[in-house]
Amino acid sequence: MTEPIDDDLGPDESSEALIAVHWREEGYYPPPASFVAQANAADPAILDAFTEDKYPECFNAYADLLDWYKPWHTTLDTSNAPFWKWFVGGELNASYNCVDRHLADKANKAALIWIPEPESEAHAAITYRELYNRVNEVAALLRDFAGLKTGDRVTLHMPMVPELPIVMLACARLGVIHSQVFAGFSGTAAGHRIADSGSNVLITMDGYYRSGDLLDHKIKTDEAVEAAAKEGQTVDKVLVFRRYPGKYSAQTPMVDGRDFFVDELLKDYKGALVEPVSLPAEAPLFLMYTSGTTGRPKGCQHSTGGYLSYVAGTSKYYQDIHPDDTYWCMADIGWITGHSYIVYGPLALGTTSVIYEGTPNYPDPARPWREAVKLGVNIFHTSPTSIRMLRKVGPDEPAKFDYHFKHMTTVGEPIEPQVWRWYYESIGKGEAVIVDTWWQTETGGFLGSTLPGIHAMKPGSCGPAALGIFPVILDEDGNEVPQGSGKAGNICIRNPWPGVFQTIWGQPDRFVSTYFAKYNKDPKSTDWHDWPYFAGDGAVQAADGYFRILGRVDDVINVAGHRLGTKELESAALTVPEVAEAAAVPVVDDIRGRAVEMYVSLKPGYAATPEVEGKVRDAIVTDIGKIARPKNIWIVPDMPKTRSGKIMRRVIAAASNFTDTGDITTLANPEVVEKIRQQVQSTKVAKGEVPRELSETELAEIKHFGSE
Ligand code: WT7
């Protein structure tokens, strides 16, 4: 490779848009006839109902899946572009739609089935009636004890227990905006989000099971409250659920006057009923934080009417949920997937949604299949990382169990065609249709997917755009990259859709600059055609119209389907006093897609020791959480830099991935590159960490990683 590395290449010029990607075209798999025969969408006429000439009114069909207190008068209001408003004039309540309205015909049907991780503990099935009772009681407590009211934000730091959706629905009942932080995130990370959202109540749990251990989760509370206080946000009340009501499972002391056991408080609210608040369609339903290129996390604000309509519609047509299905999405509710496709979408449709507390392969890799048989699961939803893991540790397990899935989903990262085929043949037993759903925290619901009863599947491609979504691939100058050209570019969505987030909480300018400014030519325009949504993903559109998503074009590392910003990782490392400079890069990982590798250089006078390495690792785990724990930390003599002093992340990414570093003659310190390469690669060889040969798309990502 002789391409010079130019100091002055900004993020734009170095993005994937310039790369032509070639790959072997995969063959089609038609949906199984048994699936088509029962599919919610089997008649291609549905495609005609969502063509561009029927936009935006086509989405009224999604809103019609809900019960509204007041009908909307305007489907889409673009007057304050790009802050779109959907179903304006309409009023509804999400809790009513997911709970109350099912009492008429489904009161005794299970809404949630909870699988505790220890197999010695019984499943808990919560009927719609029971859900109604519990949501009402918690809502009464939130209102009367915690003093929460419509428009307030409350932070949840809850594991995968039924209390989490119960609290979410209780918040929604009152119009309180919930902000659930993934339980695996550290207390400090929760604290930043508490401060950013301005929550003065934290709802958490004493402990939960993960890989056989009952973790002390309450320990994170003090860190969270302290981190929030440092940013000026006081937490007055911490509501603590107990994994075993009546018995405290954590070691950490409760703080008098601040911390309260929810099971004790609830005794005062037995049988309480709280009228669902009639809310405007645009009332925020929740915040979901995600990472971007700067350190400050982005609180993606989702609406009540647009969001709930979109997740109900896509759950119906893409997840093919019928009320009688038993649907198991193995994602965590702490991510958008869980919000949209464990809680809000499935419950809006009145189905049974399964929640699993623990790790998929605990105590052995047959666990998911035993549960699928026991519960009669027929729709299964997971990520490429879980599929790769189950394939590695228990490739022959699915065949031993007599479950039958009609439908399966893969989400969160690109899936390799060979992994897709194993999912289809082994987990799906060749009987289940697969949807590879491409979307994001920001988008609320699916953007790209096959319609499972209509379109053929193609391994490695998500398929065409979802109904009513009109994507375009643009190059850096805003020119359309034609389909079938084999060229990659930035995938954008030309039009607003009901599930799109409303803004970044407290950062409206960042909302516009990150997602819309790149291709907007007229900031004053109120015509949606002028505001393509920039997704931040590289993609290629094949001649058949199917999209293949290549991955992020920004400084985000996708670890097991979770976004980690390089800036967040680097600022954590920089809190270690010895560290002078830090750079995070992705390394291709056979299970998790990507893992993080951290490079640090030290201030003069400090030696590279295992202690410093440990401090960096701890700082990252403390600031972000275990999920961000680097695979390796390399203490290097110096960082490769441009003459203007920018760290060349792509050069060190090449060292970590054993790929070509390219021409480095324009660097200020080219001699350091070989030293780093030697240091990193000889250690990796010794540890047996040499990666397999990288695919074209992986190579492209590594070669262009980092915008500076
Ligand atoms: C990023 C969004 C979508 C919910 C879970 C992740 C990547 C997502 C796919 C897919 C290839 C995918 C993209 C996207 N991604 N789904 N089916 N194929 N890549 O949500 O944390 O907001 O991450 O995940 O890069 O931008 P998220």
Residues 6+ apart with CB under 8 A from 456: 28, 29, 30, 31, 450
pLDDT at 223 > cutoff 50:
yes
Residue 566 carries which DSSP code? H
Looking at ligand 1, which residue's alpha carbon is closest to its atom 10? 438
The phi, psi pair for 125, rounded to 5°, reads: -105, 125
Distance 438 CA to ligand 1 centre (A): 6
First to last CA, the chain: 19
Is-contact 538 15, C-beta < 8 A? yes
Distance 437 CA to ligand 1 centre (A): 8
H, E, C per residue of 166-228: HHHHHHHHHCCEEEECCCCECHHHHHHHHHHHCCCEEEEECEEEECCEEEECCHHHHHHHHHH
Question: Considering only CA atoms, which of 341, 352, 411, 398 is closest in space to residue 376?
Answer: 352
Q: Which atom of ligand 1 is nearest to the CA of 449?
A: 17
Name the token pair of 396: 């022959």
pLDDT at 605 > cutoff 50:
yes
pLDDT at 664 > cutoff 90:
no
What percent of the chain is modeled with pLDDT above 90? Answer: 89
Strand partners, 581: 601
The phi, psi pair for 575, rounded to 5°, reads: -75, -15
Residues 6+ apart with CB under 8 A from 436: 409, 410, 411, 415, 420, 449, 450, 457, 460, 461, 462, 463
pLDDT at 14 > cutoff 50:
no
What is the CA 504 to chain-centroid distance, rounded?
Answer: 16
- Sheet containing 352-356, strands listed edge to edge, beginning at the edge strand earlier in sequence: 124-127, 110-115, 352-356, 326-329, 379-382, 407-411, 433-437
Distance CA 57, CA 623 (A): 45
Q: Please write the tens of the pLDDT for every residue from 20-65.
A: 344 567 899 999 999 999 999 999 999 999 999 999 999 999 999 9
Distance 200 CA to ligand 1 centre (A): 31
Name the token pair of 314: 């896509």
pLDDT at 533 > cutoff 80:
yes
Q: Which atom of ligand 1 is nearest to the CA of 436?
A: 17
Is-contact 282 175, C-beta < 8 A? no
pLDDT at 427 > cutoff 90:
yes
Q: Which atom of ligand 1 is nearest to the CA of 414?
A: 11
Give the residue-averaged pLDDT of 345-362.
97
Distance 562 CA to ligand 1 centre (A): 8
Distance CA 344, CA 349 (A): 9
How confident is residue 295, by pLDDT bands cut at 50, 70 and 90? Answer: confident
CB atoms within 10 A of CB 492: 24
Pocket residue to mutate for ligand 1, from 558, 559, 697, most atoms within 8 A of Cβ: 558
Pocket residue to mutate for ligand 1, from 382, 439, 701, most atoms within 8 A of Cβ: 439
Measure Cα distances from 408 to 392, 678, 681 in Å.
19, 44, 39
Distance CA 182, CA 179 (A): 10
Looking at ligand 1, which residue's alpha carbon is closest to its atom 11? 414
Is-contact 689 657, C-beta < 8 A? no
pLDDT at 1 > cutoff 80:
no
Helical segments of 305-458, H only: 305-317, 336-338, 345-348, 367-375, 384-393, 417-422
Question: Considering only CA atoms, which of 14, 707, 601, 654 is closest in space to residue 294?
Answer: 707
Is-contact 180 334, C-beta < 8 A? yes
The pLDDT score that the predictor gives to residue 375 is 98
Q: Which atom of ligand 1 is nearest to the CA of 448?
A: 17
Q: Which residues of 666-696 are buried (b: 16+ CB within 10 A; e: fewer)?
A: ebebbebbeebbebbbeebeeeebeeeebbe
Ligand 1 is surrounded, with C-beta below 6 A, by: 290, 335-337, 411-414, 436-441, 462, 535-537, 549, 551-552, 558, 561-563
Residues 6+ apart with CB under 8 A from 309: 59, 62, 63, 65, 66, 86, 87, 498, 499
Name the token pair of 181: 């932080």
pLDDT at 72 > cutoff 80:
yes
How confident is residue 197, by pLDDT bands cut at 50, 70 and 90? Answer: very high
Distance 695 CA to ligand 1 centre (A): 19
Give the residue-averaged pLDDT of 358-372.
97
Is-contact 551 538, C-beta < 8 A? yes
The phi, psi pair for 5, rounded to 5°, reads: -95, 115
Write out the DSSP string of 507-519.
Answer: -HHHHHHHHTGGG
How confident is residue 133, by pLDDT bands cut at 50, 70 and 90? Answer: very high
Distance CA 378, CA 337 (A): 18
Q: Which residue has the higher pLDDT, 6 or 147?
A: 147
Distance CA 155, CA 233 (A): 12
Name the token pair of 379: 């729709």
Q: Please write the tens of the pLDDT for every residue from 229-248.
A: 999 999 999 999 999 999 99
Write the burial class of residue 603 (CB in 10 Å: 0-12 exposed, 13-18 middle, 19+ buried). Answer: exposed
Q: Which atom of ligand 1 is nearest to the CA of 552?
A: 25
Name the token pair of 35: 């699936």
The phi, psi pair for 380, rounded to 5°, reads: -130, 140
Residues 6+ apart with CB under 8 A from 274: 136, 139, 140, 143, 173, 174
Return the SS3 of 628: helix
CB atoms within 10 A of CB 571: 18
Output the average pLDDT for the chain: 94
Is-contact 142 171, C-beta < 8 A? yes
Name the token pair of 605: 């006078």
How confident is residue 12, by pLDDT bands cut at 50, 70 and 90? Answer: very low
Q: Which atom of ligand 1 is nearest to the CA of 411?
A: 17
Pocket residue to mutate for ligand 1, from 410, 413, 568, most atoms within 8 A of Cβ: 413
pLDDT at 18 > cutoff 70:
no
Distance CA 380, CA 408 (A): 5
With tokens 């105590």, the residue in question is 363
Name the token pair of 48: 């005609």
Give the residue-averaged pLDDT of 262-290.
98
Looking at ligand 1, which residue's alpha carbon is closest to its atom 23? 440
For residue 593, the one-letter residue type is G
Distance CA 91, CA 88 (A): 8
